[in-house]
Structure 1
Amino acid sequence: MPVEDDIRTTESVCERSSVAGKTAVVTGASSGIGRAVTETFVADGADVVICSRTQADVDAVAEELNGADVPGEVLPVECDVTDRDDVEALAAATVEEFGEVDVLVNNAGGAAGAGSLDEVDAETWDGVIEVNLTGTYNVTTAFADALREDGGAVVNTASQAGRYGVAGMGPYSAAKAGVIALTRTLASEWADEDVRVNAVNPGFIATPPVKEMLGLDETPSREEVAREIGTPHEVADTIRFLASDAASFVTGQTIAPTGLPHTFEPPTP
């Protein structure tokens, strides 16, 4: 006996699982997970506004993808997510170009301050908190009106470090824990306005810095299940799901693309 819901068709399933026709904003999009999200979204048919602190970096991404045979369009904007004037300009440019915002992916961030917490100076602490946590706040509030106008989805990039609290990564762990808590808070506050807010908690992902740290020459194969290192596009696929209508009953959640369960202990190279 079928469930009491719309009868499924191949077309309806594909549409619900797609971000085609949506306008998305992806921060920290010049490389790694942010770039993979951008590539995935435009291939699916979304228009994507991308930003990083250096215009040339996002210009290169936009030039490559806008010249490719993909249905989506990329608009590059220089923006430092810790600068509220920059963030307001990013929001204005997005609305001016596309008129609406359906999806916001807060991906900009970075780790610093390796070592025990008592060895981390105040400047480093402030910088890590500012780019990872305050930056997420800055961008989300700048796009609040646009997102709440017709409903939408926010996906924040957190980290397993924010779940477990990793020795030697105090500022980063604290910042990403804050992102997880902020995700749950916003999900509750914005649900009545049809905005879903979720996060991803990636494990070890083969971004350029991680590949260098672990001495990896090749990107891991997606066909292998028993591995501890994932690819940026595997995280992008998870973000695409959370941004799509297929995740209509998912909000306030933190999804962990980690491969085998672990506690963020570095894998053996």
Structure 2
Amino acid sequence: MQRWVGRVALVTGASVGIGAEICRVFVKHGMKVVGCARDVDKIRSICEQEDIKSAKGSLMPIKCDLTKENEILSMFEEIRKTYGCVDLCINNAGISEINTTLLEGDTDSWRRMLEVNVIGLCICTRESVKLMRENNINDGQIIHISSMSAYRIAPGGFAFYSGTKSMVKALAEGLRNELRAAKSGIRVACISPGMVDTEFHKRLFKDNPEEAKRRVSQFTCLKAEDIARAVVNILEMQPHVDINDILIRPTEQPF
């Protein structure tokens, strides 16, 4: 990770779970981290943790709703003014909702998932690559935190969510193709986790906390630290090594 010391990383969905843990790891490795989320106060609380305050890097919280393009563009303008560039973009933010079956799903829920999981991801990717190219950064990295749902459809009416994650997988490969055609050395990767014990299920089943608890207690789930470790593994590779996708799930997970 030595070559990333002092460089600028954007992490979306940085307030809790995987995003928050990635921010912590990057700061401890000496990176300048921009963490964005709607609940920016939770990112500010990370900044106040003693191990983060004493770390070599820094964490800048920015409030940003990824369903609003004007907020995303304003965030990138703030990054440009503060740091001038982005070297690394972690598209971690993602949502799922109940009542989204294909036969009876709620249209607004479908739209919100598309806006965050796909459109917001694409805008952040576009603007990150734009900043990299403006600064002649040829060894930057884009990492999408996707899902095992890109490869299978979990039972319970999650087909639309799986559809958005299948799009993320296709978009990552499409971006890689475009960058290679442009003779760019910027690399693109997906990390596709199975069940992770984070706020994801609590938010998904906010009206049924017992179901949220049941889902993450079926077996030993992945932890946010496991996904952050996979991110570090990608970043430690030499420039000629391009990891495109990591599928990672709990050993006991049957699907």
Q: What TM-score do the two structures reach when normalised by structure 2?
A: 0.85
Task: Structure 1: give runs of 5+ residues left out of the alignment.
Answer: 1-13, 219-226
- Asked if 1:179 corresponds to 2:168, the answer is yes
Work out the CA distance in 2 between the residues paired with 1:173 and 1:107.
16
- Asked if 1:242 corresponds to 2:234, the answer is yes
Distance change >3 Å, CA 41–CA 32, structure 1 → 2 = same
Work out the CA distance in 2 between the residues paired with 1:236 and 1:69.
20
Distance change >3 Å, CA 26–CA 65, structure 1 → 2 = farther
Shift of 1:248: 4.3
Work out the CA distance in 2 between the residues paired with 1:210 and 1:30.
15
Counterpart in the other structure of 1:150:
137
Shift of 1:198: 0.5
Letter in 1 for 2:10: V
Identity %: 25
Letter in 2 for 1:46: M
Work out the CA distance in 1 between the residues paired with 2:80 and 2:236.
20
> How large is the Cα RMSD of the aligned pairs?
2.4
Q: Deviations over 1:142-184 (max 9, x none)?
A: 2221123312000001101121122311221111111111011
- Asked if 1:260 corresponds to 2:251, the answer is yes
* Structure 1, 146-155 or 36-45: larger mean CA deviation: 146-155
Work out the CA distance in 2 between the residues paired with 1:210 and 1:87.
26
Distance change >3 Å, CA 217–CA 257, structure 1 → 2 = closer
Work out the CA distance in 2 between the residues paired with 1:261 and 1:181.
28
Counterpart in the other structure of 2:151:
163
Number of matched pairs = 240
Counterpart in the other structure of 1:190:
179
Q: What TM-score do the two structures reach when normalised by structure 1?
A: 0.81
Q: Is the 2:27–2:52 Cα contact (8 Å) retained in structure 1? A: no
Q: Is the 1:114–1:169 Cα contact (8 Å) retained in structure 2? A: no
Letter in 2 for 1:57: K
Counterpart in the other structure of 2:205:
none
Q: Deviations over 1:230-253 (max 9, x none)?
A: 1101101111222344464114x1
Counterpart in the other structure of 2:73:
88
Counterpart in the other structure of 2:49:
64
Q: Deviations over 1:115-136 (max 9, x none)?
A: 6321212111111111111110
Distance change >3 Å, CA 179–CA 125, structure 1 → 2 = same
4+ residue stretches of structure 1 with deviation over 6 A?
A: none
Counterpart in the other structure of 2:206:
none
SS in 2 for 1:256: strand
Distance change >3 Å, CA 156–CA 247, structure 1 → 2 = farther
Superposed counterparts of 1:128-147, under 5 Å? 128-147=113-132
Q: Is the 2:15–2:40 Cα contact (8 Å) retained in structure 1? A: no
